Structure 1
Amino acid sequence: MAAPAHSSYVCIFVVTLFMFISASSHAVAAVTSAAILVTVDQSGNGDYEKIQDAIDAVPSDNKEVIFILVKAGIYKEKIVVPANKPFITISGSKANGTIITWNESGEIFESPTFTVLASDFVARYLTIQNTFGPGAKAVALRVSGDRAAFFGCRISSYQDTLLDDTGRHYYKSCYIEGAVDFIFGNAASLFENCHLHSLSEGDAAITAQRRQSPSEDTGFTFLGCKITGVRSAVLGRPWGAYSRVVFALTYMSNVILPQGWDDWGDESKQSTVFYREYKCYGPGANVRKRVEWSGKLADNEAQFFLTKNMIGGKSWIRSTPTRFKKASIRHA
């Protein structure tokens, strides 16, 4: 089927995204009414044919919202959003139609398909994957910037899929797949209405959170999520001694082993980790055989984890722009 005319495509796309954001239960505080529109199209009908070229054209210390609209296709690129280029949004129209893929193993900071170092970054409706498979660390997405948000994205690898490194992050309606420690790092992050799919064949952990002292305001909260898998897994293990992970109002299939959590072979961490569950449901949510050093949240304790307050998100998660202006940042 031929692609619609450019103006019609943008109009339909903006309306769709606006409806998606409006459905959120919380008003978004950081409202952006206009953005510079940049298009990426492999067929040559956009401003750029590669995503990285569009990012590279954004001025250093950028202060305007740049909306990079990526047309459907499979983009075999290793992407980096530099720290000096904030306020970038990269968006497809459907996650399964806009695929960013790479195949690389190695150190966690070197292997990612997609690396975000900038603050105030947004990704929408993208598939970000590392296809290396079992046998080594192979990160799909590394997020090391502050105030980053991901909506409707699919993030997949096998070992160490999502390096949720540092900063405050928000993931809404994302699909995240992997086997070993596939959501790991020391960010302060809220995962809302996300689908976590474990490829573990035994007792590998879904999370490996790295909070290293009680003074750090970091941790992962999974709110209203769904957990499925191919065989069996645990919810998490402590990469850092003060690892903090909360699952609230989440469906857990029978993939979750009865013990729920693992201490990574270090009993000393049992007294310092903060692993809690709140009103989760499904066959994997039965807490009767959970390790004694995990626990359930009381209603008053849970309130902090049931909103965006943990990440201060109401002040920085920005809405979809309602007006666009064409870019003037093309390469010569």
Structure 2
Amino acid sequence: MMKRGYFMDLFVVATLCALLMAISRADPDPTQMTAALLIRVDQSGKGDYRKIQDAINAVPSNNSELVYIWVKPGIYTEKIVVPADKPFITLSGRSAGKTIITWKEGGEIYVSPTFTVLASDFVARFLTIQNTFGSGAKAVALRVSGDRAAFYGCRILSRQDTLLDDTGRHYYSSCYIEGDTDFICGDAASLFEKCHLHSLSEGTGAITAQRRESPAENTGFAFLGCKITGLKTAILGRPWGAYSRVVFAFTYMSGVVLPQGWDDWGDSSKQRTAYYGEYKCYGPGAVGSKRVQWSHNLTIQEAAPFLSKDLISGKSWIRPAPTSFRKPSAAISNNTDVNGN
């Protein structure tokens, strides 16, 4: 008969093999990913693709490596979707003022967006994303429905519901966001750091309409070190969801912000459940003496959870820009010349 130790050895080997296979299948750590596949978009035909959507389409499904799509300056009239099965894409221009993605469509908020992100671990850098439909209907410029998405130095422009910050954890750094009604809306957990919010409202248009619907949801918008300007007057926010949660900290508020600051959207019951707070904000619009009584002038202890990337578990997924690049294979690169051949 075989000795018991033999079977133990087989068991140990099998366990180690299973562990190694599990490790090999584990999700990559975004914070440790520094090398990327480079795909170039150039309307003149000198890149791998002429259109941004074509470059996104070329990324393999269930992608697990960084893909850096570099977009040459120009105006790209495209309606773009980053599918859910294509994570780890970075889309980058050289300058937001010179790399413009534009579309014109009004209507339902999940249909009208110029740019829709469904994938996780998406990054956008130095782009203008705009919906030029104008006033009179919901017209989303950017919809973000994937988890772990970050935007750096982007301009996001429309009128109503400009940024549909829908679901997931998101980070916005040094972005310019413009609109007139509920122009930052949705139920994501998002940190806006050093962003410029510009209201086009001529009355009481809301800057935010956060949609948290239950105290069990760990969502909300935090604005840290931001700036608010506008054409005439606006409020900081109103509750799309009964448990809407928005905090402004260390933010400059121009006189565009109305003294009451917040609105209950015609439903006084939401005054008991919405959580609207301010901490050490400044400027003529930050005077708190006339704020609605159901908003909060936060203490440092109350503000602390909203003052760092811990709010969105950012240390586990916000990744640095790639430091090295490799060319795409012939299967991914279109390799068209100036004449499209």
Where do residues 94-243 of structure 1 align in structure 2 (5 Å cutoff)?
94-243=95-244
Number of residue equivalences: 305
- Asked whether the equivalents of residues 154 and 174 of structure 1 are also in contact (C-alpha less than 8 Å), the reply is yes
1 CA distance for matches of 2:124 and 2:189? 18
Show the counterpart of 1:79.
80
Show the counterpart of 2:48.
47
Show the counterpart of 1:65.
66
Summarize deviations over 1:32-85 as a string: whole Å, max 9, x none. 221000000001110000000000000000001000000000000000000000
The TM-score normalised by the length of structure 1 is 0.91
- Asked whether the equivalents of residues 87 and 120 of structure 2 are also in contact (C-alpha less than 8 Å), the reply is yes
Paired residue secondary structure (1:86):
coil
Provide runs of 4+ in structure 1 moved above 6 Å: none
- Asked whether the equivalents of residues 92 and 126 of structure 1 are also in contact (C-alpha less than 8 Å), the reply is yes
Show the counterpart of 1:24.
none
- Asked whether the equivalents of residues 48 and 334 of structure 2 are also in contact (C-alpha less than 8 Å), the reply is no
- Asked whether the equivalents of residues 29 and 314 of structure 1 are also in contact (C-alpha less than 8 Å), the reply is no
Where do residues 215-294 of structure 1 align in structure 2 (5 Å cutoff)?
215-294=216-295
Summarize deviations over 1:117-146 as a string: whole Å, max 9, x none. 000000000000000000000000000000
Q: Which runs of 5+ in 1 are unaligned?
A: 1-27
- Asked whether the equivalents of residues 201 and 233 of structure 2 are also in contact (C-alpha less than 8 Å), the reply is yes
Q: Which runs of 5+ in 2 are unaligned?
A: 1-28, 336-341
Shift of 1:302: 1.3
Summarize deviations over 1:217-240 as a string: whole Å, max 9, x none. 000000000000000000000000
Shift of 1:331: 4.5
1 CA distance for matches of 2:97 and 2:159? 18
Show the counterpart of 2:33.
32
Rg larger in structure: 2
Show the counterpart of 1:11.
none
2 CA distance for matches of 1:42 and 1:33? 28
Shift of 1:208: 0.1
**In the alignment, which of 316, 333, 337 is matched to residue 330 of structure 1?**
333
Identity of aligned residues (%): 73
2 CA distance for matches of 1:262 and 1:236? 7
Show the counterpart of 1:8.
none
Shift of 1:297: 1.1
Shift of 1:330: 2.2
The TM-score normalised by the length of structure 2 is 0.88
- Asked whether the equivalents of residues 73 and 99 of structure 1 are also in contact (C-alpha less than 8 Å), the reply is yes
Show the counterpart of 1:12.
none
Paired residue secondary structure (2:140):
coil
- Asked whether the equivalents of residues 37 and 327 of structure 1 are also in contact (C-alpha less than 8 Å), the reply is yes
